[in-house]
Each structure stands twice: as structure tokens, then as C-alpha cells.
Chains A and B, each alone.
Chain A
Amino acid sequence: MMTRQQSKTQGINRRQFLATTARLSCAVALAGGGIATVAKSQPLGPQAIRPPGALAEQDFLSACVRCGLCVEACPYDTLKLARWFEQAPTGTPWFEARKVPCEMCDDIPCIKACPSGALEQALTDIDQAKMGIAVLIDEKNCLNFKGLRCDVCYRVCPLIDNAITLERSRNERSGHHAMFIPVVNPDTCTGCGKCEHACVLDEAAIKVLPPHIAMGKTADHDTYFNTESTTLEMLNKGFEL
């Protein structure tokens, strides 16, 4: 049997409890808003490249537990875990091609080490990696554009003549020399960064950028994204799309 006194104190307790709960919820929700804002406002910097097999950035951030197992597995000290206010969200693995590029190990130990699936185990052929895409970003200072035969980026590429080629063209400046222009094939470039690392200039003229920065994107509704197949399709169907 509950006395009146007891029920009264319990009523107060319940009210106090509800009030505390409400206050705590508000405080915590505010804190949460802050944490979410800061955590989300830390995007991957333009010079930060993820390890091979990394999921697309948003998925990567929901998958990586920031354990550093990939970092410890890398035999070349390529990978590192981001510190606060570095180019990648804190604790996630990345590398700077200009400092230490990826050596494209055949057995890809970094992927094997990843327990979370942030690095896709399905990637078994390192040549299929898409860590980033090399872009010859400065045509003014690139020595080959000046008509010289530097070729260093071309020569160090593990996929030479495939991911990067030298295209011959007429040197309009001298009128009778050839220029050998390094051209990156974005479909085969793995983004290992050896070209950027090796570029002889003080600041590399060729840079590896994360795929989402390096690549343009056509609109989803654009039917002409692949004109060849669209035309073929139209011909086959007798113009009755």
C-alpha cells in the first residue's frame, strides 16, 4: 500500500526525471549538431589520395574504423593516418603522392589487412585500382611542353604506354621540332602517384587528384553521354527511340 506521502514524492521524482531527461536530450542534441557539423566539414583535400580499393568518399567514411591496419601493412610507408586538421578526416588513411607514392604491390597487403571493408577485398588486380587520376595540370612549366625530352613521369609509370603515353605533335614555336606531350588515360591510370613523385620540377606539373576532383560528370539525363552507342541504337531501331 502506498501512502499519500510516498505517492507525492514519487510524483515529484517522476516530474524531475522527465525534466532532467528533456534537458539532457536538448544538451546532447546540441552537442550532436556540433560534432556532426565539424565531422562533416572535414572533406578530403585535393592532394590527399586514399589507399587502393577505397570506397567512394562518403561510403569510405561510414566504413573505415580508423584502425591503421592498412598503414601498418604497407611495406613502403606510403599510407598514414590523418591527424586533426590535416587533409583527410582525422584517423583515416591517406597518402601524399609527392612525398611517398604507392608502389602498387602485386599482393595489395593494405587491402588484405582492412577488416572493415572500407578497402574493397574484391579488388585483387592492383592495375584496376583507382586511388586517383593523374592530371598534367601545368602545361606552361612542364619541360616536355617546352619542347624538351624530360619524359620522367612517362618513364616511371608502372603502366607505361598504357596509363600514360607520349603524343607527338609539331612544335609551333620552333616550327621544325617535335613535342612529346605526356597524356594520361584516365581509364587505366591507377593514381599511384609515381609520376607526381618523380616530376623534376620544384612543384610537380603533373598531379594525382582524387577521382571525384579529377573527373567531370555528365548529367544523368544526358542521352548523348555515349554518342556512338546512342547513334548505333537509333540506327538499329530505325529511328524509333
Chain B
Amino acid sequence: MSTAKVNQARFAEDAIRELGWWKAHRFLLLRRATQLTVLALFAIGPLLGLWLLKGNLSSSLLLDTIPMADPLVTLQLLTAGHVPEASLLIGAAIIGLFYALMGGRVFCSWVCPVNMVTDLAAYLRRRFALPRTPELPRQLRYFMLALVLLLPVVTGIAAWEWLNPVPVLYRAVLFGAGAGLGLLVAIFLADLLIVERLWCSHLCPSGALFALLGKLSPVKMTAVNAKDCNNCMDCFVVCPERQVLKPALKGANPMITDSDCTQCGRCIDVCAKGVFQYKNRFTFQDNPLQKSPRIAKKAENEQ
């Protein structure tokens, strides 16, 4: 217990001292705000009759005009052999394109409600210094994704939707399906007691699909000040996908190119040295030669 307390006191202490409490928690709080806002925008419909967003994350309608749909469930319908209405396909394309541009797993850390549950488990793990358990292969999630897309071929039904915790949590809140919350408790306990970050970093097929979607995204977390890093390891402690950090910190390219990165920004928060920043894949060039055409363009625009 006392050692745990000591660990806790030490974690991100430098960052809090150097940057202040707000700056050392900024992206965590912004993310929680976004996740809850999205949920609230859906919930005020059935609760208060304010219909800005109808439906749930599986498929929805924004302001009664813009369709949005979950690419994973849409793919499941297609592999089940059902051709949906155009609005669903357009909705899935809109969401797919959005995350292809914003960074695929932005969904995970900024929208997905399950992330709040698994982050809580990770926090408790750190808080009580629970022993690290043997790592599972992280590519397991791509097998899960393949499975989720194969099951409809074999069974003819979108079988994964029976278990998928992401819509289960949304339905629990929006339509009062309380029993589904048991699934979240199971995920929480598995993350806490069996394998660190078991669900999001090893199993979730939605996260896998969004990671694939974000492969070419222009938004990349970047270790702009990698030279200032003092190896305090705080970012490794807090990052849900810590395998993505080392290549950026120690390798030739300071940009995190691995699409497993959830773009959560916690590495920015906890780093006293200000090593990490969100960067645009195309603008992040220290080379002045690369910058000059952009300046020229700006001059053109002003004419």
C-alpha cells in the first residue's frame, strides 16, 4: 500500500509542477468532455425531446439530414449478403472518411464510451501498482476483426452485434437496456485483473477497423522535442499502446506512424519536457526548403 502511494505521488509529478495541473490533464479532460457530450447529444433526444442526433453510434441522423453509420456494422450487413439502403452506405462512408482524416482511433479515445471504462481500469492498475501480466499478442484484434466479418458469411446474421460492447453501452444509456452493463463490468474486471488493457489494446474489432482506416491519416502524434526526453517513462506508463512510443522517441522519424496510437494526447499531458505534439503529417517538416512552397502559396492566396 505504502509503495503504491509513493508511486502514485510520483506519477506525472514533474509534468504537473512544470506545466500546471490543467495542462498536465488537459487532453484527458477534453476527451472525457467530448465522449460525454456525444453521449449527451444522443440522450437528450429520448430524454428531453431535443432531437439533434437520432439513433445511436450504429447508425444515426444528425439534424434530421446527415446520415452517419458505424463502418463495422455496415460491413457486417454486407458480408451477411444484405444490401442496405443508400442512406446507410452514405452514413458509413461519411464516418469512414471522417476517421480516415482525423486519425482512425480518434474514435477510441475521443468518442467510444467503453474507453472510459477501460481507462478507469488502467488508472486503478497504476494506482494500486497491480502486477503486470504476460502480454497477449496485440494483433489478436485483427483476428477478431476477421472473425466478426466472417461470422455473417457463415451464419447469415450480424452475430457480433449480440456482444459488441460499444453499442451495448449506448443502448444501455439511451434505451435503458441495463443487463448490457454486466458486459462492461466484465470488461472492466478483465482489464483490471487479467491482462492490462485487455479489451481495447488486444481484442476490440472496432478499434482494429478504425486503426486500419486511420493508416493514411494526416494527423499524427509527433515527438517534436525527442532530444529533450529524459527517459522518465511517464508516457510509457500512461500510453494505452506503449509499443508505438519507442520508434518515435528513439528512431529516425519523430512521428508516430503506427496506427495503433489512439491520438489520446495523454503523452502530451504527462510529459514535463513537452516532447509530444499533435502534428499534421504534411506540415511537420523542419526543412526550410520544404516550407518555402507553402509560403509562396500563402502569398498567392493573398493577391
A→B interface (CB under 8 Å)? 20, 24-25, 27-29, 31-32, 35-36, 38-40, 42, 58-59, 61-69, 71-73, 80-85, 89-91, 113-117, 121
Contacts and interface: CB of A to CB of B under 8 A. Distances in A.
B11 to A, nearest CB: 33
Nearest to B136: A24
Most central of A29, A36, A42, A114 by chain B CB within 10 Å: A36
Contacts of B262: none
Given A35-B159, A39-B162, A80-B175, A116 B59 contact: yes
A121 to B, nearest CB: 7
B159 A39 contact: yes
Given A25-B143, A67-B55, A67-B56, A83 B177 contact: yes
Contact of A121 (B59, B77, B85): B85
Given A35-B160, A83-B179, A115-B91, 4 more contacts: A32-B151, A61-B156, A81-B175, A115-B59
B85 A114 contact: yes
A208 to B, nearest CB: 23
A145 B69 CA distance: 52
Contacts of A116: 59, 77, 82, 84-85, 88
B175 A68 contact: yes
Q: Which 9 A-B pairs have the closest CB atoms?
A: A62-B80, A67-B59, A83-B177, A39-B159, A61-B157, A39-B162, A84-B179, A115-B88, A67-B55
Contacts of B55: 67-69, 72
Contacts of A64: 158
B77 A69 contact: no
Contact of B59 (A40, A69, A83): A69
Interface residues of B, number: 56
Contacts of A81: 171, 175, 177
A20 B137 contact: yes
B167 interface: yes
B149 to A, nearest CB: 11
Contacts of B160: 35, 39
A32 B150 contact: yes
Nearest to B163: A35
Nearest to A90: B162
B95 interface: no
B257 interface: no
Interface string B60-77: 110000010110011001
B83 interface: yes
Contacts of B177: 81-84, 90-91
A58 B158 CA distance: 10
B105 to A, nearest CB: 21
Contacts of A67: 55-56, 58-60, 69
A62 B60 contact: no
Contacts of B80: 62-63
Interface in B144-169: 144, 146-147, 150-152, 154-163, 167-168
Contacts of B157: 39-40, 58, 61-62, 89
B54 interface: yes
A61 to B, nearest CB: 4
B20 interface: no
B148 to A, nearest CB: 8
Most central of A66, A115, A117 by chain B CB within 10 Å: A115
B159 A40 contact: yes
B126 to A, nearest CB: 28
A159 B179 CA distance: 38
A97 to B, nearest CB: 20
Contacts of A31: 144, 147
Contacts of A59: 82
Interface string B130-144: 000000010110011
B161 A91 contact: yes
A72 B46 contact: yes
Contacts of A117: 82-85, 88
A29 B144 CA distance: 9
B45 interface: yes
A35 B59 contact: no
B34 interface: no
A105 to B, nearest CB: 17
Contacts of B58: 65-67, 91
Interface in B14-72: 45-46, 51, 54-56, 58-61, 67, 69-70
Nearest to B143: A28
A60 to B, nearest CB: 9
B7 interface: no
A42 B155 CA distance: 13
B142 to A, nearest CB: 9
30 contacts: A25-B143, A28-B140, A35-B160, A35-B162, A35-B163, A61-B158, A62-B80, A62-B156, A63-B84, A65-B73, A65-B74, A65-B77, A65-B88, A67-B69, A68-B56, A68-B175, A69-B54, A69-B55, A72-B54, A72-B55, A83-B178, A83-B180, A85-B179, A90-B162, A91-B167, A91-B168, A115-B61, A115-B84, A117-B82, A117-B83
